[in-house]
Amino acid sequence: MRTPTSGDTSIETRWGSGWISGTLAFTLGLMSLGAVFCLLYPELLTSPHLREVYPMVWVRRLIHACIVLAFALGCVSMVLRPSKVLGGVGAGSALLATLLGGASVRVDGPVRSGAYIGLDWFLLDLFLMALLFVPMERLFGRLREQAILRPGWDTDLAHFLVSHVLVQALMLATMLPAMVLFDGSVGYPLQRSVAGQPYWLQLAEIVLIADLAEYWIHRAFHSAPWLWRFHAVHHSARQMDWLAGSRLHLVDVVATRAGVFLPLYALGFARAPITAYLVIVAFHAVLLHANLRWRWPWAEPWLGTPVFHHWHHADEPEAIDKNFAVHLPMLDRLFGTYYLPERWPRAYGVAGDPVPETYAGQMVWPFSRSRAPFATETPTSTR
Ligand SMILES: [Zn+2]
Ligand SMILES: [Zn+2]
């Protein structure tokens, strides 16, 4: 945790300074306000797939608890802290959420499904992942001194936000190539027999086929200089934690997901095991980047673990273009790209730090005319 180097009390973060209560109030207050807007405008701000499965009684209790906590913690922070910004925004957002109807806003009738943004998906995933990983990283962090709000956290949160609220657009872009190429062949005997297999067998096959596709797409992003510029955004994180994996250019996201979805759709896997795979990959991707010191030597050659993927991000010559798989390191062992020494990497990122730090800068940079420092270098020499 940072300590102020001057007398500026607005950056005081020690226990008792009102920073922890203020940050929690700020986060919970804005999230509660967002959740109340989801109740007010469900057709515009929520995903129909998630609406199908929400246990609304518990969702409303959770929103209510967040509003109360944000208000209380905001008041605590304003008492403890000379700067009232964090506490004020937290308590103020909680108050506004209550004035708008709070957790008891009624949702009347069936909700129409048209174009929407996934604000509920952003809030829910952020809440669950932060609730799980922030305490784990505090207790079992490899780098315990690394702050939760480390450099670049705001850029990564912007990536997290955009990739969640654009869930519908990204889903359509992901599915489009498979639909165009294979829609005419749906229902063939091969696909019927694939979909007729036991659920667990389909799930195992999906993991293997998806990771095989992901391996080669990922390797292509490292091999072709024009593709590497998009993927370099992901590798530009200098510090690894649960949020760092969100740092992905949208071209990288769509191309990779669409490429992985192609064989799954062509082979005709059933919807339920594909959904289960999406849940697994969403959680696993966060775990792989987390700042956790856990090692599982018995599992490391077979299953993707944090240390395996941390070496993929390492800024060390021997680790360049290694560990492309997500779930199954055996693919890297099979194709000669496996690298897993005993120790952890010393540094992460792209050599020379060519990628801009802001979200907008990272989105535009791969398209920019300025080719430096990649103009004279191959991807393998730039990481
Ligand atoms: Zn990579
Ligand atoms: Zn990564």
Q: Using the mean position of ligand 2's atoms as its centre, give its distance from the Cα of residue 250 in Å.
A: 14
- Looking at the CA of 350, name the nearest ligand: 1
Q: Using the mean position of ligand 1's atoms as its centre, give its distance from the Cα of residue 234 in Å.
A: 7
Q: Using the mean position of ligand 1's atoms as its centre, give its distance from the Cα of residue 133 in Å.
A: 22
Q: Tally Cβ neighbours within 10 Å of residue 70.
A: 29
- Looking at the CA of 380, name the nearest ligand: 1
Q: Using the mean position of ligand 2's atoms as its centre, give its distance from the Cα of residue 377 in Å.
A: 22
- The per-residue pLDDT for 371 is 54
Q: Using the mean position of ligand 2's atoms as its centre, give its distance from the Cα of residue 24 in Å.
A: 27
Whole-angstrom Cα distance, residue 205 to residue 273? 10
Return left, alpha or beta for 85; rule: phi > 0 is left, psi -120 to 50 is alpha, else beta.
Answer: alpha
Contact 323, 201 (CB under 8 A): no
Place of tokens 């509660």: 32
Whole-angstrom Cα distance, residue 255 to residue 343? 33
User: Nearest CA to 21 among 92, 69, 82?
Assistant: 69
- The per-residue pLDDT for 382 is 42
Burial (CB count within 10 angstroms: exposed 0-12, middle 13-18, buried 19+), residue 235: buried
Span between the terminal Cα atoms of the chain, in Å: 29
- Looking at the CA of 232, name the nearest ligand: 1
Per-residue confidence in pLDDT tens, the chain, 383 aa: 333 344 445 567 778 788 899 999 999 999 999 999 999 999 999 999 999 899 999 999 999 999 999 999 999 999 988 888 999 999 999 999 999 999 999 987 778 878 999 999 999 999 999 999 999 999 999 998 899 899 999 999 999 999 999 999 999 999 999 888 887 666 688 888 999 999 999 999 999 999 999 999 999 999 999 999 999 999 999 999 999 999 999 999 999 999 999 999 999 999 999 999 999 999 999 999 999 999 999 999 999 999 999 999 999 999 999 999 999 999 999 999 999 999 999 999 998 889 999 999 999 999 986 654 443 334 443 44
- The per-residue pLDDT for 107 is 87
- Looking at the CA of 383, name the nearest ligand: 1
Q: Using the mean position of ligand 1's atoms as its centre, give its distance from the Cα of residue 156 in Å.
A: 16
- Looking at the CA of 223, name the nearest ligand: 1
